[in-house]
């Protein structure tokens, strides 16, 4: 690399760093403002309780701690976890009670005049749950107690050598997405993409809607961004899917009603320290992730 090129790259990185610092500072400010001024409708939904988690997920996490390989876990949890297509696992995760409280809380917040930002670069509707104050007592414990052990076991084996971070998830970016039919001026669908996450947990929060299925294609590493075969996942209240962030997917338009999902982009510091977040290259051996 020439000196000129190196200077150019440094400039680009500095700009990106600045952008991210500004972004985090604004999010912290909104978080503080909301903590001081917003009065929740259901304060108890901000703390994880056993009654919020489907007993089958509690048992699955327990089994995952003792059956650390995918095949052993799938056998022990037969009838609870479904895999379709390969690498996309569905299981009952959150109770109807939790889903209802959460939908009502989100509606209540949306009706308020509190500040908010877009959940990611693609979704306009939906909320950043860090800003609502849902990380410390609700979502981080959910990651630690239930998502992490299950991810470590289900993405073990063949996938492990790909350093996918499934056994070292230690932080997350969590938000909701909301879709409504054409004409409401809201998000209707979501284009084919991969997530900025090692593992993604996506749980439907129920309510009435038609359409809005997720379609899964190939892995980012297949280099086949327009993978032709797509496998559908039909959302059902409280059912989670867990997949690699690099597993490309899209959401079909919602035809009626309102679809609300809770998304946790689960991340691993080990992976992020080692691989460049911008180009995905291994900083040590210079080969690419996956």
Ligand X SMILES: O=C(O)CCC(=O)C(=O)O
Rounded to a whole number of angstroms, the minimum distance from the CB of residue 242 to Fe ion is 13
Rounded to a whole number of angstroms, the minimum distance from the CB of residue 262 to Fe ion is 13
Rounded to a whole number of angstroms, the minimum distance from the CB of residue 161 to ligand X is 26
CB-nearer residue toward ligand X: 70 or 243? 243
Cβ-contact 129, 175 below 8 angstroms: yes
Q: Which residues contact 290 (CB under 8 A, 6 or more apart)?
A: 162, 164, 219, 220, 221, 246, 280
CB-nearer residue toward ligand X: 74 or 89? 89
187 near Fe ion, rule: CB under 5 A: no
Which of these segments, 59-67, 78-86, 189-197, 206-214, binds Fe ion (CB under 5 A)? 189-197
Q: Output Rg (C-alpha) for the chain, integer angstroms.
A: 19
Residues of the shown chain interacting with ligand X in the complex, contacts defined by CB under 6 A: 120, 123, 177, 190, 195, 202, 214, 249, 251, 261, 263
Which of these segments, 32-40, 61-69, 111-119, 193-201, binds Fe ion (CB under 5 A)? 193-201
CB-nearer residue toward Fe ion: 189 or 282? 189
Rounded to a whole number of angstroms, the minimum distance from the CB of residue 127 to Fe ion is 16
Which of these segments, 63-71, 146-154, 168-176, 188-196, binds Fe ion (CB under 5 A)? 188-196
Rounded to a whole number of angstroms, the minimum distance from the CB of residue 97 to ligand X is 21
Pairing of strands 171-179, 214-219: unpaired
DSSP label at 146?
Answer: I
Rounded to a whole number of angstroms, the minimum distance from the CB of residue 175 to ligand X is 7
10 Å Cβ neighbour count for 93? 27
CB-nearer residue toward Fe ion: 54 or 195? 195
CB-nearer residue toward ligand X: 74 or 201? 201
- Which tokens in the block code for residue 150? 């299950």
Cβ-contact 179, 169 below 8 angstroms: no
CB-nearer residue toward Fe ion: 193 or 274? 193
* Euclidean distance between CA atoms 221 and 228, whole angstroms: 15
CB-count exposure of residue 22 (10 Å: 0-12, 13-18, 19+): exposed
Q: Residues 105, 131, 187, 195: which binds Fe ion (CB under 5 A)?
A: 195
CB-nearer residue toward ligand X: 9 or 277? 277
* Euclidean distance between CA atoms 90 and 83, whole angstroms: 6
Cβ-contact 175, 121 below 8 angstroms: no
Which of Fe ion, ligand X, none interacts with 246 (beta carbon under 5 to 8 A by kind)?
none
CB-nearer residue toward Fe ion: 95 or 166? 166
Q: How many helices (H) does the chain have, and how many strands (E)?
A: 7, 12
Rounded to a whole number of angstroms, the minimum distance from the CB of residue 203 to ligand X is 9
3-state secondary structure of 151: helix
Which of ligand X, Fe ion, none interacts with 214 (beta carbon under 5 to 8 A by kind)?
ligand X
- Cα angle, residue 27 at apex, residues 25 and 30 outer, rounded to 5°: 110
Rounded to a whole number of angstroms, the minimum distance from the CB of residue 195 to Fe ion is 4
Sequence-ordered alpha helix ranges (H) in the chain: 3-37, 55-66, 70-76, 96-111, 140-142, 148-154, 269-274
Residues that bind Fe ion (CB under 5 A): 195
């Amino acid at each position: 690399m020439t000196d000129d090129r190196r200077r150019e790259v440094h400039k680009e990185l500095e700009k990106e760093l600045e952008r991210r610092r500004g972004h985090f500072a604004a999010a912290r400010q909104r978080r503080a403002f909301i903590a001081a001024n917003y009065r929740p409708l259901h304060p108890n939904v901000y703390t994880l309780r056993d009654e919020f988690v489907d007993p089958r997920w509690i048992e699955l996490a327990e089994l995952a701690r003792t059956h650390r390989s995918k095949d052993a876990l799938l056998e022990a949890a037969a009838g609870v976890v479904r895999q379709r297509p390969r690498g996309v696992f569905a299981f009952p995760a959150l109770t109807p009670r939790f889903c209802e409280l959460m939908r009502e809380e989100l509606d209540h917040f949306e009706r308020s005049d509190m500040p908010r930002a877009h959940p990611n670069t693609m979704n306009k509707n939906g909320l950043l749950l860090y800003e609502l104050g849902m990380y410390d007592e609700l979502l981080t414990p959910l990651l630690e107690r239930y998502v992490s052990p299950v991810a470590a076991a289900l993405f073990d084996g063949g996938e492990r050598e790909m350093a996918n971070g499934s056994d070292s998830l230690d932080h997350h970016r969590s938000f909701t997405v909301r879709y409504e039919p054409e004409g409401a001026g809201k998000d209707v669908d979501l284009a084919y993409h991969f997530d900025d996450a090692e593992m993604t947990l996506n749980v439907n929060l129920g309510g009435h809607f038609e359409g809005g299925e997720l379609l899964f294609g190939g892995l980012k590493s297949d280099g086949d961004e327009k993978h032709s075969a797509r496998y559908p996942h039909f959302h059902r209240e409280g059912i989670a899917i867990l997949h690699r962030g690099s597993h490309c997917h899209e959401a079909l338009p919602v035809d009626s009603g309102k679809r609300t999902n809770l998304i946790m982009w689960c991340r691993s510091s080990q992976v992020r320290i080692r691989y460049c977040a911008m180009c995905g290259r291994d900083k040590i051996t210079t080969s690419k992730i996956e």
